[in-house]
Amino acid sequence: MVKTDILKKIVAKKKERIILAKQQLNEDGLKAKLKDLPPTRPFREIIGKPRQIALIAEIKQSSPSAGVIRQNLNLREVAMAYQEAGAQAVSVLTEEDFFAGNPAYLSEVKNVFSGPVLRKDFILESYQVYESRYLGADAILLIAGLLTKEKLAEFMQIADSLGLDYLVEVHDEKELKKALSLKIPVIGINNRNLKTLEVDFKTTEKLFTLIPKDKIVVVESGIKNSQDVLFLKILGASAVLIGTVFMQSDDIKSKVSQVMGW
């Protein structure tokens, strides 16, 4: 298998999963279940505080690029470690087939972690935006490279109506242009090319200067140590999204302190 096929495979599998989900609970049924849910926790507000760099700590068991990252994932344990370490928010990978995630993880993590929880998945249809709210997400990841401008605008509108925040992820200038044209408040720069899975920190250096100062910028992928975090803090990033280096650690809490310089 050539690496460039991976995103296509993920998307194809995700489309199958959406069909199955709709068979179990259609969109109207899903919307009906959203009526009495408790309010969401503020994601944008908590990661966008001035003069500090926030941590969105990620829970993921495996990935196509790294394979199995953490054997025998204990969700409660990891969420509690992030809570005790002082993470401002948690990102939960819910994609089942390539990242060993599960949509049910969102509510489990929310029972332990008191801050906002981001659903990280491959959102392709409006159904998944409603589903995210139902599952307990406070914010969702939207990948600019996977969505047309019209789709992005539609999903953002639905999210706004549901009280969901969103992190719109870009990897190149074209995707950034698309995001900026929609007046998106939180932009994620992913150093990982989702097609080849290669990570290049220069992506951040290149794109950061093109983003207006009033945006909340989250940097994702390839952040491994306190030097990386310090560089991004000086650059002016609002938050970092870090997963692998924590999930590989035997002592997550102390690893967070070490990497974040807390």
Every domain of the chain and the residues it spans: 3-27+52-260
Pick the catalytic residue: 190, 191, 193, 238? 190
Indicate if 45 belongs to the active site: no
Residue 3 has pLDDT above 60, yes or no: no
221 is catalytic: yes
> CB-based burial of residue 219 (10 Å sphere; 0-12 exposed, 13-18 middle, 19+ buried)?
buried
CATH, range 3-27+52-260: 3.20.20.70
Give the single-character DSSP code of 192: B
pLDDT at 1: 36
Q: How far apart, in whole angstroms, are the C-alpha atoms of residue 145 and residue 177? A: 11
Out of 120, 125, 178, 191, which one is annotated catalytic? 120
To the query of whether residue 26 is one of the catalytic residues in this protein, the response is: no
Tokens matching residue 11: 């998307």
Assign 66 a pLDDT band (cuts: 50, 70, 90).
confident
Active-site choice (60, 110, 178, 255): 60
Is 0.85 surpassed by the pTM of this model? yes
Residue 238 DSSP symbol: S
Give me the catalytic one of 14, 221, 238, 255. 221
pLDDT for 250-261, tens place per residue?
999 999 999 999
Closest among 247, 255, 258, 254 to 70, alpha carbons compared: 247
Q: Please indicate whether residue 253 is annotated as part of the active site.
A: no
Catalytic-role residue among 95, 131, 169, 175: 169
Active-site residue flag, 84: no
Measured distance CA(227)–CA(123) in Å, rounded: 32
Catalytic residue among 95, 125, 131, 220: 220
Indicate whether 53 pLDDT > 90.
yes
